[in-house]
Amino acid sequence: MSRIGLIGTGHIAAPIARLMAAKGHDICVTERNTEVSATLKAELGVTIAEPQAVLDASDIVFLCLRPHIAAEVLTPLTFRTDQQIVSVMAAVSAEQLARLCAPAADFVQTIPLGFLETGGCPLAAFGNDRLLADLFEPENPVVKVADESALNAHFAICAMVPGILDLMATGAKWLGDVTGEADKAEFYTTQLMSGFLATMEKGNAGRLAQERDALATEGTLSLQMTETLKDQGAHDALHSTLNAIGKRLES
């Protein structure tokens, strides 16, 4: 088992810490965020320490900082050549990581979401994908990408998740307004989507379009939905937003 440290303890770091602890690793976290780190200590018995002490106690270091404070937090710290670094910080490039974490040189950048704790979260990986696989598979599949541009594109797709949730919330509210039962409406909406996606086989390219076309046949309510969304510009808006996020990540 490894000694694992987390610099930054928030929404993404917490499920990483829980999964790593469940796999038997020794975990040390920084205090920021105070509430989250205290909860992890109570739940898992993790050690809480200042950032440098976390580094000193760790062989594998997860960088879970918000990108705009990464340089501020990491610049004063002293890394070791033997440390392996996992960055989950969008818009912090490999070049920046190499500079901020020198002399450490074994990096992987990835894109986790909170549900990796329970499995099924694909992890796009640029860099040492073997390190990620050793830590997270088989519960969470690792998808190696060729370069940072591809990684940023995967980051952009991750941003679709809250966008889709936002659309689902709108649909659930509409259903609740019609039925007068908001809680049941949200339950029905979420179970409908999650149940359908769970039936789709993993790793089969083209299934999304096939399943859409199987449902949206001539004269159906499903076809009315897909055609209206397309006609009113939903797909164009998604495409332009993904492009804008991609440019933002590369700037």
Q: What are phi and psi of 180, to 5 degrees?
A: 80, 10
CB atoms within 10 A of CB 46: 23
Q: Supply the pLDDT for residue 201.
A: 66
Is residue 88 within 8 A of residue 111, CB to CB? The reply is yes
pLDDT computed for residue 198 by the predictor: 84
Tell me how far apart the alpha carbons of residues 57 and 97 are, in angstroms, rounded to a whole number: 20
CATH architecture of the region 3-146: 3-Layer(aba) Sandwich (3.40)
pLDDT of 202 reads 66
Instruction: Compute the CA torsion angle 189, 138, 110, 39 (nearest 10 deg).
Output: 70
3-state secondary structure string across 216-246: CCCCCHHHHHHHHHHHCCHHHHHHHHHHHHH
Ranges of residues in the chain with a pLDDT under 50 are: none
pLDDT value of residue 90: 87
DSSP state of 90: T
Query: 4: which strand partners?
Result: 27, 60
Residue type at position 53: A
CB 18 within 8 A of CB 42: no
Burial of 157: CB neighbours in 10 Å, binned 0-12, 13-18, 19+: middle
Domain range list for the chain = 3-146, 160-250
